[in-house]
Amino acid sequence: MTAWDINPGGDNDIVISSRIRLARNILGKVMPTFMQEEQAKEVIQSIHEAILYSNSAIAHEFELIEMDKISSLERQVLVEKHLISPDLGKSKIGAVLIQQGEQVSIMINEEDHLRIQCILPGFQLNKVWEIANKIDDLLEETIPFSFHEKWGYLTACPTNIGTGMRASVMVHLPCLVLTGQINSVIQAIGKLGITIRGIYGEGTEFIGDLFQISNQITLGSSEKDIISNLHSVVKEILKRERQIRMNMKEYNPINLQDKIYRSYGILKYARILSSDECMKLLSYVRLGIDLGYIQDIDMDVINNLMTNIQTGMLQKNYNRRMDERERDYIRTQYIREKIEK
């Protein structure tokens, strides 16, 4: 059971998950980009020990996974579960500490020495911040972080300096996309220091009408202010998406129903589905459930499918490597199984 399997956060009609990521670096250590293997190992060990030998109740809940010791499939699965970034998945000196339940992961030797990350389902930014902050405090007990009195936490990339925090909310905006209004939303929120990214973070694609909305600015505001600003912007976006959903349902229900039911029909009947097409279909089915058009599937089933039909997750679930052709076929089997339940 991962954080994605249950969805107790609020605004579940649109919000998939909330996430906090804190970038930290260790005083006096070479930055990951310039590291030798030996130096990387030392950093991994010191962070692992900081957790392991801490006085915390969760000290033994973390598992260390080193990137060079796992297969590319296992790395891909970690990316798809949002436990590591695509970049860390490609790193040879990187590692990750993952807490039981997979709500907290600590990436090691990504761009920065540490990236503490907490992810929870639904709209609960304060909760994820609280958890990430505790882990940060725990590590700071023994690890000296690079910190400047005036600038705050020092990071590899200047865009992260200050709080080192990226707060983000994964939202599902099919109707903003359908009406093309998403573009004006992206432009408008840019002016508020907020940015929209693809589902695996910076530079990744928009898939299945899913978007990560996050703070662009890390410097000059407190963590609380950043979170509170992001929270209100997301609230505004939710309002707009809901308004369009209701308008379409009232004034153009047949076009909307057609899109939703077709997607459902294809999802149930297709025998070849790429993960991209699948995400598009799941997006509309998810909308159909929210609008009450589709009543025989639970929203959680769709949320889980959105994670589990991904290339790596699928192969992990079936416990074997598959080529694209087989995956696209097995994906449809998997979906039918889950939907018919």
* Distant-in-sequence contacts of 325-333, Cβ < 8 A, 24+ apart: 328/272, 328/273, 328/274, 329/271, 329/272, 331/273, 331/275, 331/278, 332/270, 332/271, 332/272, 332/273
Q: In the complex with a copy of itself, which residue's Cβ is closer, 58 or 266?
A: 266
CA 115 to chain centre: 14
For residue 192, is it left (φ>0), alpha (ψ between -120 and 50) or beta? Answer: alpha
Count the neighbouring beta carbons within 10 Å of the beta carbon of residue 215: 22
Ligand-binding site membership of 122 (annotated): no
Binding of residue 329 to a copy of itself (CB under 8 A): yes
Ligand-binding site membership of 283 (annotated): no
> In terms of residues, how long is the chain?
341
Q: In the complex with a copy of itself, which residue's Cβ is closer, 155 or 332?
A: 332
Dihedral of the alpha carbons of 330, 334, 336, 339, in degrees to the nearest 10: -160
Sheet strands (E) in the chain: 15-24, 62-66, 95-99, 104-108, 114-121, 147-148, 152-153, 165-172, 194-197, 210-215
Q: In the complex with a copy of itself, which residue's Cβ is closer, 150 or 325?
A: 325
The least CB distance from residue 274 to a copy of itself, in Å, is 12
Ligand-binding site membership of 170 (annotated): yes
Q: In the complex with a copy of itself, which residue's Cβ is closer, 76 or 283?
A: 283
Q: In the complex with a copy of itself, which residue's Cβ is closer, 225 or 258?
A: 258
Ligand-binding site membership of 115 (annotated): yes
As a whole number of angstroms, the distance between CA 303 and CA 279 comes to 10
86 three-class SS: helix
The least CB distance from residue 264 to a copy of itself, in Å, is 6
Ligand-binding site membership of 167 (annotated): yes
Ligand-binding site membership of 321 (annotated): no
Nearby residues of 297 by Cβ (< 8 Å), 6 or more positions away? 285, 289, 339
The dihedral built from the CA positions of residue 231, 10, 313 and 19, taken in this order, carries a sign that is positive
Chain positions 174 to 233 lying near a copy of itself, rule: CB under 8 A, are none
Mask of contacts with a copy of itself, 257-296, x by CB under 8 A? xx--xx-xxxxxxxxx------------------------
Ligand-binding site membership of 50 (annotated): no
The least CB distance from residue 179 to a copy of itself, in Å, is 18
Q: In the complex with a copy of itself, which residue's Cβ is closer, 85 or 332?
A: 332
Ligand-binding site membership of 199 (annotated): yes
Chain positions 9 to 48 lying near a copy of itself, rule: CB under 8 A, are none
- The binding site for ATP consists of 17-21, 82, 115, 166-170, 197-202
Which residues of the chain form contacts with a copy of itself (CB under 8 A)?
254-255, 257-258, 261-262, 264-272, 325, 329
- The binding site consists of 17-21, 82, 115, 166-170, 197-202
